[in-house]
Structure formats: structure tokens, C-alpha cells
Structure 1
Amino acid sequence: MDLGALGLVLLAALLHAGWNALIKAVDDRAGVLAAVSAAHVVLGLFLVSVAPGPAPASWPAIATSALLHYGYYALLFRAYRLGDLSQVYPISRGLAPAAVALAAAVLVGERLPPAGWVGLACVCAGIGLLAVRRTPSSPGAIGFAVALGLLIAAYSVADGLGVRQSQSVFGYMGWLFLLEFPVPLVIALNRRLRGGHFRLGVILLGSLGGVAAVTAYGLVLYVKTIAPLGAVSAVRESSVILAALIGILVLGERPVALRLLAAAIVAVGVATLALS
């Protein structure tokens, strides 16, 4: 991987960790999540209008992934409400690829090489360290983070199968993003029924987070066309360490040494899985 591609993947990792940090840092998480999802819907509308439609065989995967994404937003809200960024992010983002690899080995017979099992062990060890409750955060945060990771793994499998059947990557992405439209609608309706409203600052922050999320996704997708897939996936997981650093240095989360060590172990484990 050349320096240009490396820089783009690192930027994508920073953007992804950054928009998650935004969700954790703000008071109105639901409002920001609504704006993030709305940004995805806008991009989806654009892609649907310019890209060929996905093949009929991919629609069950699109529907499944869309439903799982609704759960993703709900779990993301709860996890960051209860837990720290430097705890929730490494658990959820590290568990997802490990669960996908393990499921592939068990369900469809994809054999992991020895390095893959080492990577799985590292992920489990890092998550175990993060699950040690040495902070006043709610124990429920660990459960929500684990559930979030498993949900990410589930929609990753659905998307992996669906996009292969779609015959139109951007068409698949467009409909998947467009089908997020119930998320901002439900949040807005719930807020209206409670007599609340969206503050302009929240809308702007959420829109910024949505642009960051979409840009991160697009950058990784682009770099995968010009660099080795395993290397891209491995470098992408630097977001685990970046999120831990943001949580510790910007949000003041503690303990420092334990979380940095655990995040580094998770990142090494996921990178080893990707490269193996």
C-alpha cells in the first residue's frame, strides 16, 4: 500500500472514530443520530438516481440489512448513553469482524489459518480487559456494546452476501441508505409528540457526523480498488485505537493504561484476522 492510500484509510478511520465520539459527547444523541441517518438518506437518494438498480436476488439481503440497521441505531444510542467511547467502540468494532470470521468457520466451513485463530484470541483478550468494570459506568454498557458488535457482524454478513448478488454495488448501497428514512422520521415524530424540537446546533452537528460517516465509507470503498484488501481492512482497524485516544484525551475517560492496552490488543487482533 502506497503512502497516498495509507493516508486515505487512516483519514477514514479517524472520521469513523470521530463521528462516534460526537454521538458520545453530545447531550442530544437522538437528535444527532437522526441527522446522521438523514445524511445517509440523502446520499442514498442520489445513488439510486444515478446507479443501476440492484438485481432482484439481492433484495432479501437489502431488507434484512435495513432492519438490522434500525436495531444498530437503537443499540448505538443506548451503548453510548451508558458507556464510555474508549470502552464501547473497541468492544463493538472489534467483536464484529471476529464474529464474522468465527461464523464463517462454523457455518460455511471457511477454515481460519493459525494466524486467524491468534487474531481471534487477541480480540477476545482485549474485549475481556475492557469488560473489567473499574469505572463507575453502568455494567449494562458492556452488554449493549457486545450486542452492538454482534449486530454489526450480522448486517456485515447480509451485506457481504447481498452486494455479491446485486450486480450493482452503488445501487445496493443507495437503496440500503435510502431505506434508513424511518430512523429520522421516528425520532422526529417521537420528539414532536413530547413537545420537543431539534436545536439548530444539533442538526448541524449531526449533519457533520453524517458527512463524516459517508466520507469514511466512501474512502475505504475507493482505496479497496487501488490497494490490497487485507491491508486496507487491517489499517482501517486503527480506528479502535483512535477512538480510545479520543475518549481518553478529549473526553477524559479513565483508566488510561488499561483502555489503551486493551484497544491496542483488539486492533492487533482484528488486523491479524484481516491479513490472515
Structure 2
Amino acid sequence: MSLPVFLAVMLAALLHASWNAMIKLGASKVAGMVILALVQGVMGLAVALTRPFPEAEVWPWVAASAICHAVYNTFLAFAYEHGDLSRVYPIARGAAPMAVLVASALFLSDAIEPMSVAGVLVLGLGILGMARGALGSGESRRLIPYALGAAAGTAGYTLVDGLGARVSGDPIAYVGWLFVAQALLFPPMAFAMRGRGLLRVSARVWGQGALAAVASYGAYAIAVWAMTLAPIALVSALRETSILFAVLIGWAAFGDRMDRTKAVSAALIVSGVVLTRL
């Protein structure tokens, strides 16, 4: 992976942690995710219409990704209703790189150097270590299955989008149409679960959701672009360094406690990043 791609993925990680914090700040997490999806859909359509129309073979990938993203959004919103940013985020993001690495080794032809594999594994251990204490911290245990459901969605859309963007040959258009499809799929699901009054929220919630949408769009567009230039599993793992940013945001904005487990896990994450660059 070249240095420009590496730095771009790290920027995507910062943006990803930032939009999760914005959703966590909102009074209604589900409403925030719906607003995010709707704003992303408008942004995606505006971008996609400036690009050539995708070929027929691209649309199954877009549809599959929209389903995975809807699963991710649903479980993530419910998880944030039951747990803190510094608990939910590591579980939701930590399990995904391991699943992507295994799937890549079994089904893809991406060449990954042994040192990079070691880096991914160390990185994954650090991220999962961040989640330690969820069972004994007094928080709701319901956050765990929801966070794991979000992780499954993450692994699914990472693989689908990495391959789909390659099939498309135009990652900018691919991401644009993906967010249009997601806007058509996720909000109706949320309305079915929470009712049509879901979006009767304050202007502040709308603003937070819209701002989160901008950060999320930028983060994912960068990641999908990077996956067309570097191994999918490696990009996926480096994106999860966003946990460092999330922990810092949780500590600074939400008053989350910084204990030795989090400090050691952070060191493992940094070590994993270094290994992927050797």
C-alpha cells in the first residue's frame, strides 16, 4: 500500500469515528441514522448523475451492499441505545477485519504479505481488547448482540463493495448509487420498526444527522477508492484504527473512563498499524 493511500485511509478512519460520535450524541439514534441515510442518498444522487451510468453487472453488487449497510445501520443504532461509544464501537468494528481476512484468504486473489497479515491480527486483537469489560462494567448486555450484528454487516459490505467497485471500474459512481439504494431501503425499514413519527425530532437532531452524513460519505468514498488500489483486507483493517479516534472522542466528549485495558489495547492497535507498513 502506497503512502498516499495509507494516509487517505487514516483520514477515513477519523471521519468514521467522528460521524459515529455525532449519532451517539443525538437524542434518537435510529432517527439520526435515518437522517444520515436520507442525506447520503441526496448527496449520492448528485454525485452519481455526473458520472457514466453503471453497466448491468454492477447493480447486483449495489443491491447486496445496500442490504448489508441497512443491517449495519439498524444494529448500530440499537447498540448505541444500550451502550457507550467506547464499548459499542470496538465490538462493532473489531470483529469485522478478522472475518474479512478469512474470507479474503479463502475466496479472493489479493496478495497480502505475511507482515501485513501479522499486522491485521495484532490490530484485531487490540480492537477486540477495547471491548473487554462490556460484560462486567454494569452496562446493558443487550449491546453485545446488536454490536455483533453491526460487525456482521460491516464484514458483508466491506467484501461486497471492495469487489463491486472493482467490477464497476468507477468507485465514485459506485459509492453514489450505493447511497441512493441505501436511502431507498433503510428508512422504510426504520419506519416499519419505529413508526412514521420517527423523524419528528428537533432541528438539532436533523443537523447532527446531516453533518454525520457528510463525514460518513467522505469516509466511505475514500475507503472504497482505496480498496480498488490495495488489498481489501488490509484497507479494512487500517480503517479500524478509527477506534483510537473513537476512544479519544469518548474520553473527551462523553467522559468515558480511560483504564489500563484501553491503554494496552491502543498500543496493540498502533503496533498493528506499524506492522502493516513494514
TM-score higher than 0.5: yes
Partner in structure 2 of residue 184 of structure 1: 187
What are the within-5 Å matches in structure 2 for residues 129-168 of structure 1? 130-132=131-133, 133-168=135-170
Match in the other structure for 1:260: 263
| 2:98 corresponding residue in structure 1 | 98
User: Would you say 1:37 and 2:40 are equivalent positions?
Assistant: no
Could you say which residue in structure 2 is the equivalent of 1:208?
211
* CA displacement 1:161-204 (0-9 Å, x = unmatched): 21111133222222111012232355457666458712211111
Q: Deviations over 1:47-98 (max 9, x none)?
A: 2311112221222211111111111110111121122211222232232222
Q: CA RMSD in A?
A: 3.5
8 A Cα contact 2:165 2:228, kept in partner: no
Among the aligned pairs, what percent are the same residue? 34
C-alpha displacement at 1:32, in angstroms? 1.3
Q: How does 1:1-276 map to 2 (within 5 A)?
A: 10-108=10-108, 113-126=113-126, 127-128=128-129, 130-132=131-133, 133-181=135-183, 182-187=185-190, 193=196, 197-219=200-222, 236-266=239-269, 268-269=271-272, 272=275, 274-275=276-277
Change (3 A) 1:110 1:187: closer
Shift of 1:101: 1.1
Contact 2:120 2:272 in 1 (8 A): yes
Query: Is the Cα contact below 8 Å between 1:44 and 1:175 reproduced in 2?
Result: yes
Question: How many Å apart are 1:25 and its aligned residue?
Answer: 2.2
Cα distance, 1:114–1:216 mapped onto 2, change above 3 Å: closer
SS at match of 1:253: coil
- The alignment covers a number of residue pairs equal to 275
Say if 1:196 and 1:241 are closer, same or farther in 2 by CA, change over 3 A: closer
The separation in 1 between residues aligned to 2:109 and 2:7, in whole angstroms, is: 35
Do the aligned partners of 1:21 and 1:246 also contact (CA within 8 Å) in 2? yes
Q: Distance in 1 between matches of 2:241 and 2:198?
A: 42
Q: Which amino acid aligns with 2:209?
A: G
Aligned pair in 2 of structure 1 residues 176, 227: CA closer, same or farther (>3 Å)? closer
Determine if contact 1:13/1:237 at 8 Å carries over to the other structure.
yes
**TM-score, normalization by structure 1:** 0.82
- Structure 2 contact 61–160 (Cα < 8 Å) conserved: yes
SS in 2 for 1:252: coil
Q: 1:221 to 1:202 in 2, by over 3 A?
A: same
- C-alpha distance in 2 between matches for 1:139 and 1:222: 36
Partner Cα distance (2:97, 2:198) in 1: 41
Q: What is the CA distance between 1:4 and its match in structure 2? A: 8.6
Secondary structure of the 1:180 match is helix
Cα distance change on mapping 1:186 and 1:144 into 2, 3 Å: closer
Q: C-alpha distance in 1, partners of 2:69/2:262?
A: 28
- Gaps of at least 5 residues in structure 1 are none
TM-fit CA distance, 1:231: 9.3
The letter of the residue matching 1:80 is: Y
SS at 2:81 equivalent? helix
Contact map agreement 1:56 1:166 (CA 8 A) in 2: no
* TM-score, reference length from structure 2: 0.81
* Aligned 8 A contact 2:162 2:224 in 1: no
Q: Mark the CA change 1:235 to 1:192 in structure 2 (over 3 Å): closer, same or farther.
A: closer
Q: CA–CA distance in 2 between the matches of 1:212 and 1:264?
A: 26
Q: Residues 125-156 of structure 1: CA distance to partner in whole angstroms, max 9, x if unpaired? A: 33145233331112232332233222211111
Shift of 1:241: 0.5
- Partner of 1:82, secondary structure, is coil
